[in-house]
Amino acid sequence: MVIERDDDNGPGNLTEQTVSELSGAIKRTVEERFGLVRVRGEIGRVSFPRSGHVYLSLKDDRAVMDGVIWKGVAARLPVQPEEGLEVIVNGKLTTFPGQSKYQIVIESMEPAGTGALMAMLEARKKALTAEGLFAPERKRPLPAMPKTIGVVTSPSGAVIRDILHRLSERFPCEVLVWPVAVQGQKCASEVAAAIRGFDAIAPGGPVPRPDVLIVARGGGSIEDLWGFNEEIVVRAAAECRIPLISAVGHETDVTLIDHAADLRAPTPTAAAEKAVPVRVELLASVADRGARRLRAMDRIMRLAAQRVEQTRRLLPKPAAMIAERRQRLDIAGQGLPRALQSGLAEHRAAFATLRAALRPSAMTGRVREARGRLSNAATRLAPQKLLRLTTERATRLSTSRSALQRTATQMLTPRRERLRSLSRTLEAMSYHRVLDRGFAVVRDAKGKIITTAKAAKPGAQVAIEFAGKQQVDAVIGGSATPPPPTPARKKPKAPPKAETPDLFGE
């Protein structure tokens, strides 16, 4: 840039400078004049580019100042920069020649008192409550006896030792620890990742899925516990499908994860006590219930025995129940001979009556009467009429026979075809077809088929059947003496025929 003037005392006598030279001079002047400064203000806009640096603006009611936090410093900040948060920063003033502006390079940042953090905490709590993340109906009950417990905490602090010691005393179980930073810039991201990591474990895999999660940390200031107030941690706790216990800080410390968890414990030790029952108390309860069960069963048996005894007393004596029937049997036994004699006499009288009716003289009279009735009937029926009746009956008989034959043919035809089909199937499945292919059937002396070598005893006689129903006899394992022939059974002599009495004799 060059300025020319005609007068000697005007700008024309000034030394020429480039824009970069002038900007550098201003930069050095600002940095030398102010150096390290401490500024209080409210954070305006905030941006987090991929480079890891943080760009923001600080403002009050009359002025705005740009600021930058380099990546290494941003990772060590105790509080994440957030729009609307009032902070106190330490840094150095400098200029940015590329945009002709000055800015502060922030080296440390802290909230401007507890009131600012609490105001931001209340605003965040109201927003998350409006979304329903803290609703009581979202809370889930804890399992009565968990097998595996997941703990999200620092692996080197006293918290994990207290939890493990308390669990071993009350109810020993498997514990999985996910190590995280419990304060600082990485706290929120690591705690949220641990909760989601436990929730992503599949049941039945190589790593057991926890039944309960405990997020624990010791006491500290609000700045130390601020990571558990971050929105990413609250949302991870609210979305976790595993019942979660929050044990952050002491009893007086309250963070937002306490509202999103299914249960809040005042201390990490109390969280371990709430997660599991007392094993000794469980054993005592089981023993007490077992004793109660035995007493109840004994009482039931005594009552049943009393009812049986009462019922037995109400029942009549067995001897009394059969005494009357025994007396009736004795009376019937005494009258049995007389009844037999009376029945035999009645049958003899009836037999005598039939014998009298079968005499030859009575039979001859009946034959004469039958011949007379036959002669009268032949006289009444003329030969022509008898022939006509005979012809009609023969015609009807022939018609009925034809209809019967047709019906029989209709009924038998499908059955005959089915019989032929079944015969062909039977023939195809017959074992004779197997014998035709070179196999043989071995039967023992009783005709039973021998299917295993164990059943073929040495010296036993067998019959081997080949194709074409050809059969030969053989002996297993060598020759054997044939059994002696069975002697022919003599027919018993017929008893002498009893002399048949003459039924028609006098």
In a domain, 474, yes or no: no
Instruction: Give 103's strand partners.
Output: 66, 94
Mean pLDDT of 394-398: 80
Together in a domain, 272 and 133 = yes
Alpha helices in 381-430 (DSSP H): 383-429
Which single residue is written with the structure tokens 């926890």?
210
- State which of 277, 302, 323 marks the end of a domain: 277
pLDDT computed for residue 242 by the predictor: 94
pLDDT at 359 over 80: no
In a domain, 335, yes or no: no
Together in a domain, 107 and 135 = no
Global pTM reads: 0.45
Contact 214, 163 (CB under 8 A): yes
Together in a domain, 100 and 210 = no
How far apart are alpha carbons 244 and 150 in whole angstroms? 9
In a domain, 244, yes or no: yes
pLDDT at 261 over 80: yes
Together in a domain, 136 and 272 = yes
Contact 220, 255 (CB under 8 A): no
Tokens encoding 385: 């009429």
Together in a domain, 59 and 104 = yes
What's the pLDDT tens digit per position in 312-350?
Answer: 888 887 787 788 888 888 888 888 888 888 888 888 888
Domains of the chain: total = 2
Element (H, E) at 26: helix 19-34
Together in a domain, 106 and 137 = no
CA distances from 485 to 321, 481, 488 (A): 63, 12, 9
In a domain, 40, yes or no: yes
What's the pLDDT tens digit per position in 40-58?
Answer: 888 888 888 888 899 998 8
Q: Which long-range contacts (CB under 8 A, 24 or more apart) does 21-24 make?
A: 23/95, 23/97, 23/100, 24/97
pLDDT averaged over the chain?
Answer: 82
What's the pLDDT tens digit per position in 473-499?
Answer: 888 885 445 555 555 555 555 455 444
**SS3 call for 104:** strand
pLDDT computed for residue 204 by the predictor: 87
- State which of 277, 293, 316 marks the end of a domain: 277
What's the pLDDT tens digit per position in 163-202?
Answer: 999 998 888 899 999 999 988 878 899 999 999 999 999 9
Question: For residue 198, what is the domain's CATH number?
Answer: 3.40.50.261
- State which of 277, 303, 325 marks the end of a domain: 277
In a domain, 233, yes or no: yes
Together in a domain, 104 and 178 = no
Question: For residue 43, what is the domain's CATH number?
Answer: 2.40.50.140
Together in a domain, 107 and 154 = no
What's the pLDDT tens digit per position in 428-450?
Answer: 777 777 777 778 888 888 888 88
Q: What is the domain range of residue 180?
A: 129-277
